[in-house]
Amino acid sequence: MLGIFGLIITSILLVKNIKGSILIGIFLTAVLGIALGILKYQGVVALPPSIAPTFLKMDLKGIMHITYIVPIIIFLYMALFDTVGTLIGVTSQAGFMKDGKIPRASKALMADATATTIGAALGTSTTLAYIESIAGVKVGGKTGLTAVVIAILFAFSIFFNMWALIF
């Protein structure tokens, strides 16, 4: 029921075009969940967990087995289409497309591939570009400065990991 409340309140805020509606919806849902005792508050700041259990623990020998070819190809194309779809959506929303082409698309795809490779070495989930990037464009962010600020805030948010445990 709490999730349904969150969905409804966030939808209402989105329909009313309130800036930050998704964040406000998440916050209101969390506050209600804590008030009702559904969610447990466990502190504000904590050290991030160690990456030692997953750092450079890739099983490269294991993926060479014939049974892994199909899943690898599926994940490759899922990541590729997800990234290309995001690039098309964000560049068209920002007005950067020229004659139906994405300027410097190869650089954007290379940045995404590099991030995915580094993320895999660190043992994280895939680090794809997501369509949520349009949220930044919709509020006026069309330069690289927006991405840099978001990256800094994401790095800072690591120390607020305890909030993720609430949700």
Pair 39, 3: CB distance under 8 Å? no
- The Cβ-side half-sphere exposure at 103, using a 13 Å CA radius, reads 8
Distance CA 114, CA 148 (A): 17
The pLDDT of residue 164 is 56
Specify if 80 maps to a domain.
Answer: yes
Specify if 78 maps to a domain.
Answer: yes
Q: Domain residues for 26?
A: 1-39
pLDDT band at 130 (very low <50, low <70, confident <90, very high): low
Residue 77 burial by CB count (10 A; 0-12/13-18/19+): exposed, middle or buried? exposed
Top-confidence residue, 42 or 8:
8
The answer on 65 and 20 residing in a single domain is no
Specify if 130 maps to a domain.
Answer: yes
Q: Give the CA radius of gyration of the chain.
A: 19
Specify if 167 maps to a domain.
Answer: no
In this prediction, residues 82-91 reach a mean pLDDT of: 86
